[in-house]
């Protein structure tokens, strides 16, 4: 059987690293099994769904290397959802309920006070046609519940009804339908909640594997029952652990700091985001992967822990440095040019090779390019004895063309003349040349500066 997976975000905001974890699990699973990946926008929330968010989600996935084989919008599939709802109504499996939220809450409290599970008692099934007419006459609109198959003959006498599935991530799972309320599939205004459109679309689009967050585990039993009620076998399900903040709070679209858009704009490498989003909270070591294709070869969804994983931005910084420090010039040339590095300058490639181990992000190279081609920074200044020492040291710069050996020759001469050594010898020279107290090896920077520029930096 060929594998077909889907990622089904709601375009009501920018997706964050937790959402992307789900997208990547599905993408890697499809890659590993030679399958296809559907991007399906669950945009039935008309008031909050926006095309601009859908476009941003598609752009974020593309940046991460996730390129869907097919794109669908749930809002364009209303006829299929309506047909499924009508089929369920005709078979008596989707029934109208007229209780208000206050009435349902009161019944829930009564059941709890009697030490009964707070599940819906199916009171609406007892309503006579006259009662329904009366409710509608007073302006009530029904919501519609799916009748779970958790009884033999009498729906008011439920019995333990186990739904089993072999979870792609968590292994064998069991849910008892008798412990659940009949889920609401249609709201009072006729709009659908998540479950019905999702199941109908999974059937019609031929989805074979649904991999999602483990906050959906308890929903799976009812959804499998709904697949069967619509005459279809359910796909394989997998539920990975969720990401939280370092303080244990759930990630939210409302908090934009960890959105993929924000991380991209902050200059993070896509594979740093991918590596952390996939590997955190698994038995695999969190290390920067070279590509999604390489990652897919060893991808095993079952390696995920059953407990939530805490996302620490500091780990993302570590991974980002690992990647940036190895990037070749041709890979970053366009990005360097975009931040002001003259990639046509014959020094540009050598410059990147020298400074890349000293930047957090590619864009940070712009500051070093300004230091090399214009003037020292002003982060550190020379004073007192160090200032006098540096002036003397510049008079000892060896004659001739500046090359790889110049720094060694220069510091030897300075040591002999001043008696300084170690940090006291080289730090004032570093500050005079770069305006910073740390950075690339000065021996490597000197050839980029050239003799005239070096002497021009004499304090």
Q: Report pLDDT digits (tens) over 7-53.
A: 999 999 999 999 999 999 999 999 999 999 999 999 988 889 999 99
Instruction: Give pLDDT, residue 257.
Output: 62
Provide the pLDDT for residue 254: 64
Instruction: Give tens-digit pLDDT for 192-239.
Output: 999 999 999 999 999 999 999 999 999 999 999 999 999 999 999 999
Taking CA atoms, 192 is separated from 53, 78, 81, 90, 95, in Å, by 21, 10, 8, 18, 14
Mean pLDDT of the chain: 95
Q: What is the pLDDT of residues 428-459, one digit of tens each?
A: 999 999 999 999 999 999 999 999 999 999 99
Q: Which residue has the tokens 């366009």?
A: 334
212-215 contacts, C-beta under 8 A, 24 or more apart: 212/22, 212/237, 212/238, 212/239, 212/240, 213/18, 213/21, 213/22, 213/239, 213/240, 213/241, 213/242, 214/169, 214/170, 214/239, 214/240, 214/241, 214/242, 214/306, 215/242
The first and second tokens of residue 302, run together, are 């079952």
Residue 1 confidence class, pLDDT cut points 50, 70, 90: low
Tokens of 78: 């209303």
- pLDDT reported for residue 27: 98
Report how far residue 67's alpha carbon sits from residue 269's, in angstroms, rounded to the nearest whole number. 17
Q: Residue 246: its pLDDT value, please?
A: 82
pLDDT at position 47, please?
A: 87
CB atoms within 10 A of CB 97: 21
Residue 256 has pLDDT above 70, yes or no: no
337-396 residue pLDDT tens? 999 999 999 999 999 999 999 999 999 999 999 999 999 999 999 999 999 999 999 999
Instruction: Give SS3 for 75.
Output: helix
Question: What is the residue whose two structure tokens read 């001043």?
Answer: 418
Structure tokens at 101: 């939220």
Flag whether pLDDT at 322 surpasses 80. yes
Cβ-defined contacts of 381-389 (< 8 Å, 24+): 381/431, 381/435, 382/428, 382/431, 382/432, 382/459, 386/427, 386/428, 386/431, 387/428, 387/459, 389/418, 389/420, 389/428
**pLDDT value at position 304?**
93
pLDDT 10s digits, 75-97: 999 999 999 999 999 999 999 99
CB-based burial label for 154 (10 Å; 0-12, 13-18, 19+): exposed
């Amino acid at each position: 059987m060929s594998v077909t997976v889907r990622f089904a975000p709601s375009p009501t905001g920018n997706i964050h690293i937790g959402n992307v974890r789900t997208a990547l699990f599905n993408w890697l699973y499809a890659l590993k099994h030679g399958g296809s990946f559907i991007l399906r926008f669950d945009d039935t929330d008309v008031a909050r769904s926006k095309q601009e968010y859908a476009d941003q989600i598609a752009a974020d996935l593309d940046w991460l290397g996730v390129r869907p084989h097919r794109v669908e919008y749930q809002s364009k599939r209303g006829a299929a959802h309506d047909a499924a709802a009508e089929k369920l109504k005709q078979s008596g499996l989707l029934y109208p309920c007229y209780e208000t939220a206050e009435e349902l809450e009161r019944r829930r409290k009564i059941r709890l006070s009697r030490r009964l599970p707070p599940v819906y008692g199916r009171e609406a099934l007892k309503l006579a046609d006259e009662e329904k007419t009366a409710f509608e006459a007073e302006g009530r609109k029904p919501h519609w519940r799916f009748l779970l198959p958790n009884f033999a003959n009498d729906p008011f006498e439920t019995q333990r009804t186990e739904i089993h599935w072999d979870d792609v991530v968590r292994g064998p799972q069991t849910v008892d339908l008798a412990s659940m309320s009949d889920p609401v599939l249609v709201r009072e205004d006729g709009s659908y909640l998540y479950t019905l459109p999702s199941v109908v679309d999974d059937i019609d689009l031929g989805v074979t594997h649904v991999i999602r967050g483990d906050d959906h585990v308890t929903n799976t039993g009812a959804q499998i029952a709904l697949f069967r009620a619509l005459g279809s076998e359910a796909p394989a399900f997998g539920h990975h652990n969720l990401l939280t903040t370092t303080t244990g709070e759930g990630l939210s679209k409302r908090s934009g700091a960890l959105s993929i858009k924000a991380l991209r704009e902050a200059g993070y490498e896509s594979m740093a985001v991918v590596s952390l989003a996939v590997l955190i909270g698994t038995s695999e070591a969190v290390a920067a992967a070279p590509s999604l294709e390489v990652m897919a070869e060893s991808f095993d969804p079952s390696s995920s822990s059953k407990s939530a994983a805490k996302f620490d931005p500091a780990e993302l910084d570590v991974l980002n440095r690992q990647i940036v420090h190895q990037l070749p010039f041709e890979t970053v040339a366009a990005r360097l040019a975009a931040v002001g590095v003259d990639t046509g300058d014959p020094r540009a490639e050598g410059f990147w090779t020298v400074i890349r181990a000293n930047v957090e992000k590619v864009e940070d190279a712009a500051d070093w390019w300004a230091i090399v081609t214009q003037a020292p920074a002003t982060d550190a200044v020379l004073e007192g004895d160090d200032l006098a020492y540096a002036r003397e040291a510049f008079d000892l710069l060896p004659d001739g063309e500046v090359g790889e050996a110049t720094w060694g020759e220069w510091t030897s001469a300075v040591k002999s003349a001043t008696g300084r050594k170690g940090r006291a010898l080289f730090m004032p020279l570093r500050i005079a040349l770069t305006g910073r107290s740390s950075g690339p090896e000065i021996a490597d920077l000197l050839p980029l500066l050239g003799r005239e520029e070096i002497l021009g930096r004499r304090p």
